[in-house]
Amino acid sequence: MEAAEQVALVTGGAKGIGLAIAKRLVKQGMTVVINAHREPSAEAWAEIQAGNPKLSYLVGSVADEAEAETMIAAVMTKFGRLDVLVNNAGITRDKLLSRMSAADFNAVIQTNLVGAFNMTKHAMKVMQKQRSGNIVNLASISGLNGNIGQANYAASKAGLIGLTKTAAKEGALRGIRCNAVAPGMIATAMTDKLSDRIKTEITKQIPLHRFGEADEVAQTVAFLISNPYITGQVITVDGGLTI
């Protein structure tokens, strides 16, 4: 690996938006490690890695601080540097607030928000020594506007926006930038579960009249990483849904 080659770690990178981000960063010349909470099958990994020899993976739970620290250490042991962290790992446990269990609320907060905190904390220690680094958090328009049935998810993503802005201010002292991307309705396995009727109703509310593609989110992440004068920002990728 050439000394100038950047190394990126993408959490929740085995599918959907996370995988699209990983592949986009590989195209931009980075070595990319994707994190998943369980080891993919040989067949699944062969499909993920096809044509992307600079992709590797780490198994671990971002919600567990010890495992988060171990993952950062593993990247450093193998590559000797960490230039980019993309906090994409996330889960949903949707239900109306009055019917939501504390367990479901806490599970989403633990993965989506505490998980990003765990990864950012230990990545920043490395990046501070390097005096450079880039962190991009995957928020959501739910974190900006709330959403029926997603009190836990919206709270986690709103918290992630606050974490982003604080990390940007603290990180700037050592050349570390931190931004967030807030996707709207993106065509993924998660939105595939919606009925055709609901998809049609949502599409009517989107000025661009379609769901976004995972790579359109990935392009925005890549842009934020590449522009050295952007930090502390939240960029929506939602087809105009929140304008």
Give tens-digit pLDDT for 122-171: 999 999 999 999 999 999 999 999 999 999 999 999 999 999 999 999 99
Look up residue 193 and give its two tokens.
């579960």
Alpha helices in the chain (DSSP H): 16-27, 42-49, 65-79, 102-109, 115-130, 141-145, 151-171, 189-192, 196-205, 214-226
| Active-site annotation holder among 57, 105, 153, 211 | 153
Query: Structural domains in the chain?
Result: 7-237 (3.40.50.720)
Range 81-102 average pLDDT = 97
Judged against a pLDDT cut of 60, whether residue 1 lies above it is answered with no
| The predicted structure's pLDDT at residue 53 | 85
- Span 191-217, pLDDT tens digits: 888 899 999 999 999 999 999 999 999
Specify which residues 235 forms β-bridges with.
Answer: 181
How would you class 1 by CB atoms within 10 Å of its CB: exposed for 0-12, middle for 13-18, buried for 19 or more? exposed
Rounded to 5°, angle at Cα 22 from 20 and 24:
70
Rounded to 5°, angle at Cα 201 from 195 and 205:
140
Percent of the chain with pLDDT over 70: 98
pLDDT bin (cut points 50, 70, 90) of residue 88 is very high
How far is C-alpha 220 from the geometric centre of its chain's CA atoms? Answer: 12
- Strands 7-10 and 31-36: what pairing? parallel
Predicted TM-score of the model (pTM): 0.95
| The predicted structure's pLDDT at residue 52 | 81
| The predicted structure's pLDDT at residue 121 | 98
Residue 153 annotated to the active site? yes
Range 98-104 average pLDDT = 98
Rounded to 5°, angle at Cα 219 from 74 and 30:
35
Residue 89, C-beta contacts closer than 8 angstroms, at least 6 positions apart: 11, 12, 18, 35, 37, 62, 111, 112, 115, 116
CB-based burial, 85-118: b 16+ in 10 Å, e otherwise: bbbbbbbbbeeeeeebeeebbebbbbbbbbbbbb
- Span 30-78, pLDDT tens digits: 999 999 998 888 888 888 888 788 999 999 999 999 999 999 999 999 9
